[in-house]
Structure 1
Amino acid sequence: MTILPKSKLGAILVLVFIYIATITLSIFFFKLITLKFELKGLNAFFSADIFATLLLWLIGVIVGNPCVFDLQWSIVPPVFLLSFYLYNGRVNKLEIEDIWFIGTVLFWAVRLTFNCLVNWGGFDHIDWRIINFKNKGALAWFFINLTSIHLIPTLITFTSMLP
């Protein structure tokens, strides 16, 4: 059994820690696969994104709430975008279109993250659709949780960020 904060502020702070840790571990994973396995470009970014998704899925399983993953929709795009600019050495060569694009994505991400956190009920709150899926049985829930709740949204988010 996990011990999670009951207060909303405490739960949000735990989420912030989870996402900072996940992003940090994903950066290390990205560096590992680009250096050791010579995976490059979008393949490396995709692998790191899947790695982050699997970490968030595992954390959701441990805390008993897959809603930990909900912020992925709004946190991954700006992280991916900024990482892509850094990886390609374009940070010092930004043009006005790049600045507008990055600014728009950041504005959207901050707004969506804020709305998500304002409406989030903490770790005790699980979306009613997820409860319905959980009631389908342990094996069905395992596959639904891993694929439909985690991997498919990751694929949607990743492909929407492709240049």
Structure 2
Amino acid sequence: MTTEAKEPPRLARDRAWIAAAYLAGLGAALAAGWLTRERHPLLVAALADLAGTVVVFAFSMAFDNSSVYDPYWSVAPIPIALYWAWLGLESGSPPARLALILMLFFIWGIRLTQNWLARWRGMGDEDFRYRRIRERTGRAYWPASFLSIHLMPTIWVFLGMLPAWAALARPGRPFGWLDLAACAVTLAAILVEWLADRQLRRFLRERKDKAEILDKGLWAASRHPNYFGEVLFWWGIFLFGIAAAPDEWWTGVGALSILALFLFVSVPWMDRRMLAGHPEYRRRLQTTSGLVPWVRKKS
């Protein structure tokens, strides 16, 4: 007879605290949204987003772990998209577009959050980047954590959501071929990110030596294919915005800012970490694309 592996009690308790943090954050966001409901939908969503961030930050401080905030990236866009879609229903936005975008946000958000939960080992597990910031800032860590770990990603994701406002909350153009193209790009992005994460999990589980470097599958063509999938997702959302309201092209600043985040912050940071622990990683830097999957260069 086989028995199912049970979740350690401490991990189950810590996950319950994460759920409580996000429910409290959602409550604060709903309250902020209600109090500002007569304002522009972008401002309403921004203030609600900020309120949710502050509450989750309070839980990060309470548990002395900034990784409490990590799922916010994939959780917050869902209620924001739902709010804008509700406005879109009232203003006459094409139902097919609303349904497609909401479906994609739910698939992306649930998958990304589940992937984080599968890796997270509890309140004793904090992202290595946050530990570095803690070491460098000392007593100023929590102000630094709020600004750099909590507030800045909230701003980045909100910028990425700008095209979703154009596509969901406004009446927009009729549903058409560009919506289908946007759906294809966004679905492809989710698939790439899912496959890259799956390959990484399998590699970490099956590798015999910690010195091994993943260079198979999508990871043979890109050093960070999971990041590529994430960036591509936001460009897919931008295409939906263009399909609905070409005059809101300026919302592309969101996809551009997320691209810049990964190109100039996330990729270099991970590369430095890999190089510090794996000197042979330098060859991978020379031969393999940092973000976009591409043919390897000859060393």
TM-score class normalised by the smaller sequence: 0.7 to 0.9
- 2:30, 2:48 within 8 Å by CA — same for their partners in 1? yes
- 1:6, 1:123 within 8 Å by CA — same for their partners in 2? no
Partner SS, residue 122 of structure 1: coil
Partner of 2:269: none
> Do structure 1's residue 32 and structure 2's residue 31 form an aligned pair?
no
Partner of 1:116: 116
1-structure distance, mates of 2:18, 2:10: 12
- How much has 1:143 moved relative to structure 2? 3.3
Q: How many residues align?
A: 154
2-structure distance, mates of 1:67, 1:58: 12
Unaligned 5+ residue runs, structure 1?
none
Partner of 1:134: 134
- How much has 1:98 moved relative to structure 2? 1.9
- 1:6, 1:122 within 8 Å by CA — same for their partners in 2? no
- 2:28, 2:55 within 8 Å by CA — same for their partners in 1? no
Partner of 2:251: none
- How much has 1:39 moved relative to structure 2? 3.0
CA RMSD of aligned residues (A): 1.9
- How much has 1:72 moved relative to structure 2? 0.4
- How much has 1:94 moved relative to structure 2? 5.0
Tell me the percent identity. Answer: 25
Partner of 2:155: 155
- How much has 1:97 moved relative to structure 2? 2.2
2-structure distance, mates of 1:78, 1:59: 21
> Do structure 1's residue 90 and structure 2's residue 93 form an aligned pair?
no
- 1:49, 1:154 within 8 Å by CA — same for their partners in 2? yes
The one of 16, 20, 30 equivalent to 2:19 is 16
Scaled by the length of structure 1, the TM-score of the pair is: 0.86
2-structure distance, mates of 1:24, 1:76: 12
- How much has 1:105 moved relative to structure 2? 1.1
Q: Which runs of 4+ in 1 moved over 4 A?
A: 91-94
Partner of 1:72: 72
2-structure distance, mates of 1:124, 1:6: 14
Partner of 1:144: 144
Partner SS, residue 138 of structure 1: helix
- How much has 1:33 moved relative to structure 2? 2.6
Code of the residue aligned with 2:81 in structure 1: it is L
Scaled by the length of structure 2, the TM-score of the pair is: 0.48
- How much has 1:11 moved relative to structure 2? 1.3
Code of the residue aligned with 1:126 in structure 2: it is E
The higher-RCO structure (CA 8 Å, 6+ apart) is 1
Higher gyration radius (CA): 2
1-structure distance, mates of 2:115, 2:105: 15
- Rate the CA distance shift 1:6–1:128 in 2: closer, same or farther, 3 A: farther
Code of the residue aligned with 1:138 in structure 2: it is R
- 1:75, 1:113 within 8 Å by CA — same for their partners in 2? yes
Unaligned 5+ residue runs, structure 2?
1-7, 164-299
2-structure distance, mates of 1:15, 1:94: 36
